[in-house]
Structure 1
Amino acid sequence: MRGWLNNLIVVTQQDADRTVITVAGEMGLDTCPTLARATLAIPLGRTLHLEMSGVSFMDSRGLNLLLQQRRRFLAEGGQLTAADLQDQPVQVLRLTGAYDLLVPGTTSTGRGACRCSGIR
């Protein structure tokens, strides 16, 4: 049963003003290295936009990766944003106070770029 939890699909697209990585699967201990490797190929100073509508689960390792990458991109003159999050990853980000850091156009109430069904 554990085998399907190890899948994370990462698709990278270079746009003129940013890099978009579409992520699908579960972000956890076994899968985060896949996303981490994909971010290493992004040029300095770029914006990384993570399209996360396909991420159904994220644990503390996934949260840690997002925060580490955000810190790295900011230090290099870029930025990291996440959008289209499902309910469970939104709950993780809100519980830890990271939601407003990663989801653009939000306020402390969490209204903005998130397209979640039950959490507002």
Structure 2
Amino acid sequence: MLPNRFDLVVSAQPDVTVVTVTGELDMTTCPYVTRATDDLTLKGQILALDLSALTYMDSSGLNVLLTLRNRAHAEDGVLHLCGVPRQALRVLDLTGTRNLFTLRPCLTP
């Protein structure tokens, strides 16, 4: 059962898999994202994380994003962060990691 104020939807299409995260991405909810993405094949694929409904992200959430980015690169895939809210952008800026990600305003890969 997912925690209150959190939802996760995975939608696989031929060349892109969209993972939509709603609510808070923190130490309580990160394991759900990890489990949902562990079995995804990233080779030659785009993994688009739709974060437009994200309300909060802490260092645990940043760790999940960095782990997915590193995995995508290792598997010759691509990670796009879509609709990243201001608060999450601030976390990326404060940690100097914003330039490691491909940011998209919407889900168009």
**Fold conserved between structures, TM > 0.5:** yes
Quick check: 1:51 aligned with 2:50?
Answer: yes
Of Structure 1 and Structure 2, the greater strand share is in: 2
Indicate the residue corresponding to 1:90 in structure 2: 89
SS of the equivalent of 2:18 reads strand
Q: TM-score, normalised by structure 2?
A: 0.85
Residues 27 and 58 in structure 1, CA contact (< 8 A), matched pair in contact too: yes
Greater relative contact order (Cα 8 A, min sep 6): structure 1 or 2?
2
Point out the structure with max Rg over C-alpha: 1
Stretches of structure 2 lacking an aligned partner (at least 5 in a row): none
Residues 103 and 114 in structure 1, CA contact (< 8 A), matched pair in contact too: no
Indicate the residue corresponding to 2:12 in structure 1: 14
CA offsets 1:39-80 (integer angstroms, 9 cap, x no match): 112114022100001111100010011001110111011121
After TM superposition, which residue ranges in structure 1, 4 or more long, deviate above 2 angstroms?
A: none
CA offsets 1:84-105 (integer angstroms, 9 cap, x no match): 011111100111122122233x
Query: Structure 2: which amino acid aligns with 1:74?
Result: H
The root-mean-square deviation of aligned C-alpha atoms, in Å, is 1.7
Residues 23 and 55 in structure 1, CA contact (< 8 A), matched pair in contact too: yes
Q: TM-score, normalised by structure 1?
A: 0.78
> Residues 14 and 36 of structure 1: is their aligned pair in 2 closer, same or farther, counting only changes over 3 Å?
same
Instruction: State the number of aligned residues.
Output: 103
Indicate the residue corresponding to 1:66 in structure 2: 65
Residues 8 and 34 in structure 1, CA contact (< 8 A), matched pair in contact too: no
Stretches of structure 1 lacking an aligned partner (at least 5 in a row): 105-112, 116-120
